[in-house]
A = this chain, B = another copy of it.
């Protein structure tokens, strides 16, 4: 499938819905990011994604990464594409200026990431992980560490990884076993095995800088005894050049369902030299910055899957002929009507569209809070931080699950053809399936949302957002055309509060109640969050139409997609509310031994 960057919709969200230019003006560091600069950046990224990356997406999947005796070879064309990506300055976009970065807002780089990722998610994993390592060094590194690594990472000459997971410790990082033994020169000897390390080894860069979680001797058990280390693949000489091998070896790569062009490595550290970054035993805290950013990055993957499915299946639905419309023949000159005449096909297309465009709005919306967290101050920073805390697990879990759903619709619209590789639809499902798993599974995100964020803040974080939505409802209560959205939104808003209070009560008696309700609560929250954004988008569109826009079809489609969302997707909340109301007992009543076959 040839990807086409949805520039008009990206501009709609950035300029018309979120007014990014004004937002950037409030942050001294981002004054230069005006609309012109943004649009030219978007066009540059669109052209690169469409022309360089999209053609490598299916071939990269078919070829996969090759592993041979510790070396990993990426698919044909990836090295050239990576070099082009670096030449365009993309690795440096949101990095700090001191080391060659362009200091662009996170929200801007998110737009670029969306385009790059929709065109070729496997490719986007290489710079994506590197970005996490850059951020970690920027935030927690010493001056010397920044001096040693950042510049080459920011240009893309070197890449980085995040080495967290071990075979027995996935979601539960408290039980990792990799050891860091202090050496006389102040460095550490790192020994252990990490698994699922994306971009752990590859042929795109001259060096790979691993950020590794490990335990110091005598460190407290659990999450409070984990420290963070920089472990380069090749040592770095005093003059900055690449030295010798550092006993970091890729043991194998995983054979997996999808993202086959992204190398997922087993990494063996066998007395590798590492350097402590951040305070001893506070490694997991240092990781939180990265983890939040990585979660937003993964939320983007959900939206890319929906967009990719929409583009592929829409093209097919207009082209493919089968049966006649039940309401009368639509294309009498043809042997059958194009399948887009059938309501069931339209349901799938509109679901993809509502999740792609709604997901875009959500990801960009929360990325703007991330900008403020990075560069704002005072009350605004505090508020943005709280909004980001609340919205990140919602976006990560909800958008990846709905992205997977949309990807499956992408197959379904194609019928049997969706199951064959040729059209790219089945690859989309395989590639995006991981998004519900890595960077914290859907279930982990849901617990984070309900347990830590909502109940853990005594409802404060939720109240912030509820007030934002209430204000929006209040502002538009006189607008007749908006009533169709405002009324159900207000109703669901009240329900959100009631639901939260009810779970909070249950949880005081039954601790498992939080675990029992969390996933349904996450879905409920996701649907209401997207309802708010769809209502806002409808308002922007209605206003444009009222002002006599020349793009009536575009804005009218927005209003109709919002109507579809409220009529057909928002009602899913009802089932989630009902499931929560039946409590945790139906999950817990069966003894472990009774689970059998």
Give residues in A with beta carbon < 8 Å to B: 4, 6, 9, 62, 165, 168-172, 174-175, 196, 254-258, 264, 307, 310-311, 314, 317-318, 321-323, 325-328, 335-336, 338, 340, 342-347, 349-350, 353, 404, 408, 411-412, 415-422, 426, 429-430, 433-434, 436-438, 441-443, 446-447, 510-512, 514-516, 518-519, 553-554, 556-557, 560-561, 563-564, 567-568, 571-572, 574-575, 578-579, 582-597
On whether the beta carbons of B419 and A437 are closer than 8 Å, the reply is: yes
Query: From A328, which residue of chain B is reached at the shortest CB distance?
Result: B511
Query: Are the CB atoms of A443 and B578 closer together than 8 Å?
Result: no
Evaluate whether A171 and B322 lie within 8 angstroms (CB atoms) in the complex, with A256-B426, A437-B411, A597-B311 already known: yes
List, in ascending order, chain B residues with CB within 8 A of A597's CB: 4, 6, 9, 307, 310-311, 314
The interface residues of chain B lying within 8 Å CB-to-CB of A553 are 591, 593-594, 596
**Cβ contact within 8 Å between A516 and B256:** no
Known pairs A326-B511, A557-B594 / 10 extra A-B pairs, C-beta < 8 Å: A310-B597, A327-B512, A338-B592, A343-B587, A347-B587, A411-B437, A416-B437, A568-B579, A572-B575, A574-B574
The smallest C-beta distance from A527 to any residue of chain B, in angstroms, reads: 11
Known: A419-B256, A515-B343. A587 touches B564 (CB 8 A): yes
A342 nearest in chain B by CB position: B515
Q: CA separation between A102 and B366, bound complex, in Å?
A: 66
A344, A436, A575 pick with most chain B CB within 10 angstroms: A344
Contact: B416 with A196, CB < 8 Å?
Answer: yes
Closest to A404 in B: B408
Residue of B at shortest CB range from A170?
A: B415
Chain B residue numbers with a CB within 8 Å of A563 are 586, 589
**Chain B neighbourhood of A264, CB < 8 A:** 420
Name the contact of A412 in the complex, choosing from B255, B346, B417, B437 (C-beta under 8 A): B437
Report A463 CB to chain B, min CB distance, Å.
Answer: 24
On whether the beta carbons of B257 and A421 are closer than 8 Å, the reply is yes
Partner of A557, one of B317, B443, B596: B596
Whole-angstrom CA separation of A476 from B421 in the bound complex = 52
Q: What's the Cα separation between A591 and B416 when bound, in Å?
A: 26
Is A433 touching B441 in the complex (CB atoms < 8 A)? no
Closest to A317 in B: B595
Q: Are B516 and A343 in contact (CB under 8 A)?
A: yes
Q: Would B340 and A168 count as touching, CB distance under 8 A?
A: no
Interface of A is mostly: helix
A438, closest chain B residue (CB): B416
Inter-chain contact B172/A560, CB cutoff 8 Å: no
Contacts of A512 on B, CB cut-off 8 Å?
325-327, 343
Closest to A264 in B: B420
Q: A336-B175, A515-B342 are in contact. Are A257 and B196 (CB under 8 A)?
A: no
- 30 residue pairs bridging A and B, Cβ less than 8 Å apart: A169-B322, A172-B321, A254-B420, A255-B421, A255-B422, A256-B420, A257-B430, A310-B597, A311-B597, A327-B510, A327-B511, A344-B515, A346-B587, A350-B590, A411-B437, A412-B436, A418-B437, A419-B433, A419-B434, A426-B430, A426-B433, A430-B430, A553-B591, A554-B594, A554-B596, A557-B596, A563-B589, A564-B590, A567-B585, A574-B574
> Which of these, B314, B430, B591, contacts A595 with CB under 8 Å?
B314
Chain B minimum-CB-distance residue to A595: B314
Name which of A258, A429, A511, A571 has the most chain B CB atoms within 10 A of its CB.
A571
Contact pick for A556, options B6, B433, B594, CB 8 Å: B594
Given the known inter-chain contacts A515-B326, A575-B575, please indicate yes or no for A582 contacting B568, CB distance below 8 A. yes
A349 vs B590: C-alpha distance in the bound complex, in angstroms? 11
CB-defined contacts of A6 to chain B, threshold 8 Å: 597
Closest-CB distance, A426 to chain B (whole angstroms)? 4
Report Cα–Cα, A411/B437, bound state, in Å. Answer: 9
Contacts of A572 in B (CB 8 A): 575
Q: Which chain B residue has the least Cβ–Cβ distance from A3?
A: B597
* CB-nearest residue of chain B to A558: B594
A165–B416 contact, CB under 8 A? yes
Closest to A564 in B: B586
A344 adjacent to B446 (CB under 8 Å): yes
Who on chain B is nearest to A436 by CB?
B412
- In the bound complex, how far is the Cα of B580 from the Cα of A562, in angstroms? 17
What are the residues of chain B within 8 A of A587 when measuring CB–CB? 343, 346-347, 350, 564, 568
Contacts of A172 in B (CB 8 A): 321-323, 336
Instruction: Write out the residue numbers on chain B whose beta carbons fall within 8 Å of the beta carbon of A582.
Output: 567-568, 571
Cβ of A227 to closest chain B Cβ, rounded Å? 19
User: Which residue of B169, B321, B353, B433 is within 8 Å of A429 (Cβ)?
Assistant: B433
Closest to A346 in B: B587
Provide the residues of chain B in CB contact with A4, threshold 8 Å: 597
Q: Chain B residues with Cβ under 8 A from A430's Cβ?
A: 257, 426, 430
Cα distance, A493 to B174, chains bound together (Å)? 50
Question: Which listed residue (B343, B510, B515, B568) contacts A588, Cβ 8 A?
Answer: B343
Choose from B170, B175, B317, B429 the contact partner of A417 (Cβ within 8 Å): B170
A427: nearest residue on chain B (CB-CB)? B257
